Amino acid sequence: MFIKKQDFSYIKEGTGHPLILLHGLMGGLSNFNALLEFFPKKGYKVIIPVLPIYKMPLLLTNIFSLSKYIIQLLIKIRIQKATLIGNSLGGHIALIIAKKRNDLVHSLVLTGSSGLFEKSFGEAFPKRENYEYIKKKSQEVFYDPKIATKELVDEVFNIVNDKKKGIKILYIAKSAMKDNMSKDLSIIQQPICLIWGKQDPVTPPIVAQEFHRLLPHSELYWIDKCGHVPMMEHPKIFVTILEKWLSKLDFNYEKFFC
């Protein structure tokens, strides 16, 4: 069910312990289709917010504003102690929320998360008008280039060639790269599941290992023949790992709302 309340837009399905799914900078709600299909049937409430990447004023276009937006959403819809599941930029947002409002966070799942190191387009989008170049860069995100469908490539191509959207993408990417969280991770005491593609070219395996070292209560799971977006490239494996990990957690701590 797609819901639009004031400044917030999100998908919500199911009842039970809340799973908040946070997509990456160039990602979208459909990245989490496998989780949306599976977990509401297993007694979880799944919420996928639309990140307002292109709606924020330019001066407020940064990762901290996005984190504040998700905090405000959780408060608005009366969600407490949620499991935040973030890919790429979404993982970084989840970490910032856990640092600033740990009362809202029960646990975290990070996959290909930024926050320590990630490769990006850089200072600009070179050859942005070259469709084949954008296609190649989109395919490089995945181990299997076929995952980058024409629809996905078209969407990325249209974004980077829209001047206003392209600038906002760069602003957020720069703010994320500047916000290195290595000194903050030790204070995050929630259970954390790291699910990483062994061939992730954006946040390579060494990044996952560093997250695992710095986060006190983390578990690291690998998916082979997998790039930066495991829940798209290997959805069944991803869901299996996540369900098993969630089943070990204790959710009997308070009543959930909404």
What DSSP state is assigned to residue 114?
Answer: -
- Number of Cα atoms under 13 Å in the Cβ half of residue 63: 28
- Give the global pTM: 0.93
pLDDT at 220: 98
pLDDT at 258: 41
Specify the 3-state DSSP secondary structure of 5: strand
Q: How far apart are CA 123 and CA 1, in angstroms?
A: 38
For the chain, list residues with pLDDT below 70. 120-128, 253-258
Bridge partners, residue 87, by sequence: 111
pLDDT at 27: 86
Bridge partners, residue 8, by sequence: 5
The encoded tokens of residue 183 equal 């000194």
Q: How far apart are CA 205 and CA 94, in angstroms?
A: 20
pLDDT at 95: 98
- Edge-to-edge strand order for the sheet containing 218-223? 2-5, 8-13, 44-49, 17-22, 82-87, 105-111, 192-197, 218-223
pLDDT at 54: 92
Are 29 and 48 spatial neighbours (Cβ–Cβ below 8 Å)?
yes
Can you list the positions of beta strands (E) in the chain? 2-5, 8-13, 17-22, 44-49, 82-87, 105-111, 192-197, 218-223
Q: How many CB atoms lie within 10 A of CB 181?
A: 19
Closest alpha carbon to 162 in 140, 120, 134, 132: 134
pLDDT at 120: 61
